[in-house]
Each structure stands twice: as structure tokens, then as C-alpha cells.
Amino acid sequence: MCDYLIDSKIKYPLLMLIMFTLEPEMFITVIEYFILSVKEFIFEVFVFVLKSGFVWIIRITHIYNLILAKKPFWRELIDDVNEATIVTFYDSPVKCVTEIGHSAFNDDDLVTVEEYTDEAAARAGHGKWVKIFEQGLPRELKDIANDTIYQRQYFE
């Protein structure tokens, strides 16, 4: 009968009081069982919290990696000289290029003027184009992307 009561997990205080008055040994056995049950419950809660913590760490790591993935692959240099925007993209897995946008050439669309193989050459080429535009607008720009020459347009 003792095993039956323990296995049935009686948790009612009134029944415990009756057991204590009728059979103290069974009451002590039930109390020990409850203590073991509470220890197991606390252990299960601890394991659940630990698992949840690991899951949250993994989720936060994934979110952080997604945020990092939004950063552009390319770095760039941007200068505005004589109303022209000179942009150099470098550290691309494919190529490094300098592009220029000005209303006198190609209606403010960017014109790809030079291509480089590495970052150092891209930085030097960017500086070269900045110096050219500091001296004044050139007569023409050749777009190396589509082999088109854009003549400078004069506005009144």
C-alpha cells in the first residue's frame, strides 16, 4: 500500500495529516518522496533555464551575424570637387573602380573612369582624379564600362 500511495503522488495536505495520525512511517516516506520530487523539479527547471540560455545565446549570435552581414563588402572614398562626385570603391572581391558623376557628363549618372587591381592602386587613382578635377573639368570622360566617351557639355 505504501508503494501505491507514493506512486500515485498524493499531494493533498488533508491526506497527509490522516497518514501522519494513522501511520507515521508512511508519512515520513511520503515527505521524503516529495523532497525528492522537489529536487528533481528544481533540477528540471535548472536544466530548462540552462537550455533556454544556450538557445538565446545562439539566437543573439545569429542576429549579430545578420547585422554584420548587412555591412557592404566594399569600402569607398568619396570626394566632391568642382560640383563633381568622385567615388572609388575598393576591397571588392571582383575589382576596384573610380566613378565620377557630374551634370556636364552623362546627366549626373556615374561614369566609370578607371579600374584597379588592389586597394593601394585604387587610393592612388582616386587621388589622381581629385587633382584633375581640382584643376578644372576635363574636356571628356571615357567610360571604361561601356567604352563610351562623354564630352563635356557647357551650360550658360
Residue 152 reports pLDDT greater than 60:
yes
Contact (Cβ atoms closer than 8 angstroms) between residue 101 and residue 85: yes
**Cell reading at 74:** 566594399
Q: How far is residue 139's CA from residue 149's CA, in Å, rounded to a whole number?
A: 10
Contact (Cβ atoms closer than 8 angstroms) between residue 88 and residue 105: no
Of 4-8, 20-24, 114-118, the range with the highest mean pLDDT is 114-118
Q: Is the pTM of this model over 0.85?
A: no
The confidence score (pLDDT) of residue 131 equals 92
